[in-house]
């Protein structure tokens, strides 16, 4: 979450999904203000974690940068353009997951 915040991501939410899915223990959901910022956020997060020896299991959506997913196994990072975040509504979809932190 600090990486996203440092790169000016907005509306950052951390959900603990351990009790509701085996997919991941946590979801980090945040938005960029533009496609370019979403792309930059995804790159910065991936680069910083790679420098710490952590590589994603999968990356989706970097080409369009409307919804980029970085899968780190126990943590999945969702980076959205504002319209896609509203449309897909992951916070509503996973509303039964515990909200650990929300930074606006």
Q: What is the pLDDT of residues 19-63, one digit of tens each?
A: 998 899 999 999 999 999 999 999 999 999 999 999 999 999 988
Sheet with 26-31: strands ordered across: 58-60, 67-71, 75-80, 26-31, 10-16, 98-103
For 76-98, how does the pLDDT look when each residue is reduced to its tens digit (9 = 90+)?
999 999 999 999 999 989 988 88
Look up the CATH number of the domain holding residue 69. Answer: 3.30.460.10
Task: Find tokens 């196994």 and name the residue.
Answer: 73
- Say which range, 9-13, 14-18, 90-94, 98-102, has the weakest mean pLDDT: 98-102
The model's confidence at residue 8, banded by pLDDT at 50, 70 and 90, is confident
- Structural domain including 6 reads 2-103
Number of domains into which the chain is organized = 1
Residue 102's pLDDT is: 66
């Amino acid at each position: 979450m600090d990486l996203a915040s440092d790169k000016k991501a907005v509306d950052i939410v951390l959900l603990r999904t351990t009790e509701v899915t085996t997919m991941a223990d946590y979801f980090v959901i945040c938005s960029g203000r533009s496609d370019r910022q979403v792309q930059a956020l995804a790159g910065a997060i991936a680069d910083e974690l790679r420098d710490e020896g952590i590589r994603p299991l999968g990356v989706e959506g970097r080409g369009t940068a409307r919804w980029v997913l970085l899968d780190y196994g126990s943590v999945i990072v969702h980076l959205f353009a504002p319209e896609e975040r509203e449309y897909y509504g992951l916070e509503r979809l996973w509303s039964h997951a515990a909200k650990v932190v929300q930074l606006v």
